[in-house]
Amino acid sequence: MISTRFTERFELEAPIASAPMAFAAGGELAAAVSAAGGLGLIGGAYGDPAFLENAFRAAGNTAVGCGFITWRLSENRALLTAALSHQPCAMMLSFGDPAPYRDEIAAAGVPLICQVQTMAHVDDAMTAGADVIVAQGSEAGGHGATRATMTLVPEVRDAIGEDVILLAAGGIADGRGLAAALALGADGVLMGSRFWAAREALTHPRHQAVAVEADGDATIRQRAADIARGYDWPKPFTARVLNNAFVQRWEGRAAEHAAVAEAERPAYGEALARGDPDEAAVFVGEATGIIRDIASAGEIIARTVAEAEAVIRRSAALLR
């Protein structure tokens, strides 16, 4: 067992949280992560009230948290109230200023987790009184910015001091990544792609299968997927996906793509529904290169902690 301030604060057995990934992190995944000793987070994502209620129902009595895309939450503030009514063990906000939501979250007695991608985001999170900050590097799957995990994490630690819990995210999918994150000054990790490839995830099996065979070179940061889906993501955020036929056809042709995207949206939706790995975006990060199976959340956590413990012991043995 690896004990950190993160495990102590949330009464966990492993310093691991699962990312609240849109369309992948439902109640079953979040509950499985929490049941295995980590912190499971439901993905509130783009704001579907029915999805949110179903996800909490699927989590049952297991203690789970929830996460929202902050700029999207501003379009339907009632979603936050609905999520807080389920008494989540944490609320995570990403991709926008958390300040407008701070008071409601604090009044509910729920710890606030803020994900950051830049040092300016860190300032916003600290002003909002974040209990936990997640420093996310550009290696991550899905949306993020341009900073790398290796340098962002220790810089954030230096900036926030020792009073705020820090998690590392981006490119972390095994025990080596967890051990490295702890060495960089983090109190734990938030893993997305590794749990995206869990049995309990809502990810289409065809997308999981192609990701297992891919290496990290096969991913790319792009905007084509958001144009296809009609999501107006603010700068500087782009999304990392597999560089498939769809991306190669449209990336770099934003104006042309936008002109036809609405007409092509039904076809894109159908490709997504059938898990077409060539004609729909596959939202996985550079860690795809070290994901070699589809495992249960419990197996992932146990394996990750055991690997990290082994790395830490080997590293300690280097001291003379």
Q: For 59, left (φ over 0), alpha (ψ -120 to 50), or beta? A: alpha
| 4 and 176 Cβ atoms separated by less than 8 Å | no
Could you tell me the CA-to-CA distances from 233 to 66, 88, 90, 152, 227 in Å, in that order?
20, 27, 25, 22, 9
Q: State pLDDT tens for residues 179-233.
A: 999 999 999 999 999 999 999 999 999 999 999 999 999 999 999 999 999 999 9
Mean pLDDT of 119-147: 98
Domain boundaries defined on the chain: 5-202+293-317, 205-273
Beta strands 238-242 and 142-144, pairing class: antiparallel
pLDDT for 230 equals: 96
pLDDT grade, residue 45 (50/70/90)?
A: confident
pLDDT for 47 equals: 87
pLDDT grade, residue 60 (50/70/90)?
A: very high
Cross-strand pairs, 135: 116, 168
Does pTM surpass 0.95?
yes
pLDDT for 143 equals: 98
Q: How many Cβ atoms from other residues are within 10 Å of residue 296's Cβ?
A: 14
Which helix (H) or strand (E) is 76 found in, with range? Answer: none
For the structural domain made of 5-202+293-317, what CATH number should be given? 3.20.20.70
**Best CA proximity match to 17, nearest among 35, 41, 1:** 41
Average pLDDT of the chain is 97
Quickly list DSSP for 123-141: HHHHHTT-SEEEEE-TTSS
pLDDT for 139 equals: 98
pLDDT for 226 equals: 97
Q: How many CA atoms lie within 13 A of 271 on its CB side?
A: 18
Question: How open is the CA angle 43-44-45, to the nearest 5 degrees?
Answer: 85
pLDDT at 157 exceeding the cut of 90: yes
Mean pLDDT of 299-315: 97
φ, ψ for residue 99, nearest 5 deg? -55, -40
pLDDT grade, residue 260 (50/70/90)?
A: very high
What radius of gyration, in Å, describes the C-alpha atoms of the chain? 18
| 90 and 119 Cβ atoms separated by less than 8 Å | no
Mean pLDDT of 263-287: 98
Mean pLDDT of 231-247: 96
pLDDT for 1 equals: 84
Q: State pLDDT tens for residues 4-33.
A: 999 999 999 999 999 999 999 999 999 999
pLDDT for 320 equals: 83
